[in-house]
Amino acid sequence: MNPARLRTCLCGVPLNTPVLAASGTFAYGVEFRSLVDFTRIGGIIVKGLSREPISGNPPPRLWETASGMMNSVGLQNIGVKAFVRDKLPELQRLPTAVFANVFGHTPEDYCETIRVLEDHAGLAGYELNVSCPNTSQGGIYFSSDPALLAGLTGRIRLIARRPILVKLSPNVARIEPLARAAEEAGADAVSLVNTFIGLAIDARTRKPRIGAGFGGLSGPAIKPIALRMVYEAAQAVKIPVVGLGGIATGEDAAEFLIAGATAVEVGTASFWDPGSVERVGRELDSFLTRENIPTAASLAGTLRMPGRGEP
C-alpha cells in the first residue's frame, strides 16, 4: 500500500487510511490484534458503550439473509467504567485512531458516559449512536426527531473536548433534517447509515428468526440505499460525512467517497472476513493506482449526478 495515497484526516484526527472498523463488528478492537495490522487501517470505532453494563437480547442474535445479515445483539457491553479500566489501556498502545461509540436512553446517560471517557487519554473522538428511544420523552427515538437530536448533541458538545460524530439512522423519511440538526448543534461529523429495521420469519415454526423479534439489516443488500443517503447528507451539511452500509471491497469504499464521504466504515464484512478492514484499504489503494487517482481524498464528492450540471 502507498501510505501517502491513503492518508487522510477526519475532524482534525489523522488517519492512516480512510477505512475504519465499524462499531459493533470489531469488538473492543484489541481482540483483533493477531488478525489485523493496525498501521494499515484508519481506525477503530469500539463496541457501543453505556453508562452501566448491559447483558443484551436473548438468542438467536444473528441471522444470515440474502446478501446481508440481521442482528439484534441488544447493545451488550461491559459498561464505560469497565471499558476504561480493562480495555482502554491496551487500546492506547495501538498505532491507529480509536473512537468510542456511546449510547443511552436519556441525555444524562450519554453525558455521564462521556464524562467518564473525558477523564482518560487514548481516544480520538466519540461516535454517538442515536438509534435509541429516549425513555424520558416517552420512547421517541433521538434519531427520528431533529429537535431531540439537536438537544442531545448540544448537551454533549458542552462537555466533550474531543470530536463528535453523530451516527444517523436510515429509518427516517428524510436524512437531511437530521444531518443539519446535528451540524447546527455542534457535531464535528455525521456517520451513516446504521442498520435498517427488519423481520425474518421461520415459515415452519411461524416465529421470528431473531430472539428479540425485529432486528437490524446490514450488509451488501443495503449498500445502494446507504449510498443514496450518504450523498443526500453530504449535500446538506458542510461537516464531514462518514459512510457505511454494505462495504465489502475497495471499490465499494471508493463509491462512498465519490458520493461525498470523507471516510468509510466496514462492518458486516468483518463477520466473514475478520481482516476485511485492512483488505478494503489495500483494495482501495489498488483501485486508485489502476484509475491513476493521486489520493483517496481527491475522490470525495466527485459524483457526476445527472441534472446537476454534470454530463
Closest CA to 234 of 145, 148, 141, 299: 299
Identify whether 200 is part of a domain.
Answer: no
Beta pairing partners, 19: 264
Residue 183 · residue 238 · CB < 8 Å: yes
Residue 295 lies in a domain: yes
Residue 209 within any structural domain of the chain: no
pLDDT at 81 over 80: yes
Per the domain annotation, does 68 fall within a domain?
no
The three-state (H, E, C) secondary structure of 224-266, written as one string: HHHHHHHHHHHHHCCCCEEEECCCCCHHHHHHHHHHCCCEEEE
- For position 115, what pLDDT does the model report? 98
Is the residue at 213 inside a domain? no
Helix axes 223-236, 250-259, angle to 10 degrees: 30
The CATH number that applies at residue 179 is 3.20.20.70
Show which residues are catalytic. Answer: 132
Residue 289 sits in which domain range?
A: 3-57+74-195+219-299
Q: Over 80: is that where the pLDDT of 140 sits?
A: no
Residue 205 lies in a domain: no
> 69: which strand partners?
64, 218
> What would the pLDDT profile of 246-295 be if each residue is shown by its tens digit?
999 999 999 999 999 999 999 999 999 999 999 999 999 999 999 999 99
Query: Global pTM?
Result: 0.95
62 pLDDT band (50/70/90 cuts)? very high
Rounded Cα gap, residues 16 and 243, in angstroms: 17
Looking at the 3D structure of the chain, how many domains does it have?
1
Stretch (H or E) spanning 3: helix 3-6
